[in-house]
Structure 1
Amino acid sequence: MSESQLGIAHHSSHSHDPRPQLISAASYFYQQGWMLGTGGNLSARLDDGSFWITASGQPKGELTLDSFVRIYPDGNVYRPLPENKPSAETSIHQAIYQLFPTATACYHVHSVEANLVSRFVEGEKILLPNLEMLKGLGIWEENPTCYLPLFANYFHVPQIAAEIIERFTHQQVKLPALLIRDHGITVWADSPTTARNYVEVIEYIFQYMVAAKQLQI
């Protein structure tokens, strides 16, 4: 289905198109080693409730405007390239946008540190160290106690999305992030720029946690 068939206006400018920001973020995350190969996925939601998300199997260091698909609330999908398929983790992004109406960006990356940290505990949450960097996640309390929600990883991704909806519907969400065991973090924010900052902050905290465990401090 074409964008014209979906009633989408065409513009010569990309001033309202979030894809350039997603491309820039993906390139940066790739350089950090957090989106190697085709791993990870990024999305940004538009005013009409649709969102652009990286297509499945795209090398994250080489994205173009055609490397995305647009998902509409009614289930329609627009593909700039007909062969593009939505990310395998589209259901998680849909869950986040359903749960958090003010979120306009959702980023998921894979890092070595995230996978190591996910093995530090066996439960459904992990205590983050009381670092100054927590302010970068919107935590301004003095000596805060912050737990990062931890979810099991399933081959059938909609099962992960269903568990996210189930838990977050019944529990207060303090941090704009979650961790999937042996997989990676997902963050959400009210702008792509803020989502990018959240990824950096959390990955910094994970690096600290791994180093601290190695040094036994």
Structure 2
Amino acid sequence: MNSSKLIDSRVELISAARQFYHQGWMVGTAGNLSARLPDGSFWITASGRSKGELELGDFVRVYPNGKVEKPSTDLKPSAETAIHQVLYALFPEATSCYHVHSVEANLVSRFVKDDTLPLPPLEMLKGLGVWEENPDCAMPIFANHLQVSCIADEIKQRFTTTPPQLPALLIRDHGVTVWAPSSRTARNYIELVEYIFRYMVAAKGVGVLEVEEANS
């Protein structure tokens, strides 16, 4: 593999991170993005780096055998690397995995006590692969354990027995994660799910969701 391909994937991650940062979805050093390479390894944003100021040296490469390649000794992989590893293992077609923190994602994760979030049948669901008319669609929610490995284990266990309807999941009081076959598609997925979350928060504020639930 030539080095230009390695650099290209990081450039795409930098571009997406800056866009999400300016949207307010990756404030401080929050969130993490990764891109899988043909050999099964993946670049992931290093822990503690501002997502609005990423450079090529702010990524760590993680191999399938667990080996970590760091450009400098002060870097360490994102704390949520285990989640990316599990999603890549579960979904071989995925080459990008994006996780952002938004206010709306945290709010909607509190709309229900169950482990799934019913989604309104919006047109935006088509962009996530749902082409049914008036779809009955829900997004899985996982508890925000302090030990990220526990979250990863729960994702693996649930998705192995019950595949998700959408290429997205919520971690309660934390944020949304998507996976996709390309970086461009992953960016689209983030934008689409965040639109849906904003709609749900706005609808809740004016009572639309309560009316829909009462009529269902």
User: TM (normalized to structure 2)?
Assistant: 0.94
Corresponding residue of 2:73: 82
1:175 matched to 2:166 = yes
Corresponding residue of 1:6: none
What displacement does 1:75 show? 1.3
Which residue among 188, 193, 203 is the counterpart of 1:202? 193
What is the Cα-based RMSD across aligned positions, in Å?
Answer: 1.1
> Aligned to 1:18, what secondary structure does the other structure show?
helix
> Aligned to 2:97, what secondary structure does the other structure show?
strand
Aligned pairs for 1:126-165 within 5 A: 126-165=117-156
Distance 1:67 1:190 in 2: 23
Corresponding residue of 2:104: 113
1:59 matched to 2:50 = yes
Q: Identify the range of structure 1 (36-45 vs 14-23) with the bigger mean alpha-carbon deviation.
A: 14-23
Q: Identify the range of structure 1 (119-128 vs 13-22) with the bigger mean alpha-carbon deviation.
A: 13-22
Distance 1:130 1:10 in 2: 44
Corresponding residue of 2:177: 186
* Structure 1 residues 144-189: Cα deviation after superposition (integer angstroms, max 9, x where no partner): 1110000000110000000000000000321000000000000000
> Aligned to 1:21, what secondary structure does the other structure show?
helix
Identity in percent:
65
Corresponding residue of 2:38: 47
Gaps of at least 5 residues in structure 2 are: 209-216
Corresponding residue of 2:115: 124
* Structure 1 residues 11-70: Cα deviation after superposition (integer angstroms, max 9, x where no partner): 3x3576300000000000000000001000000000000000000000000000000000
Count, aligned residues: 208
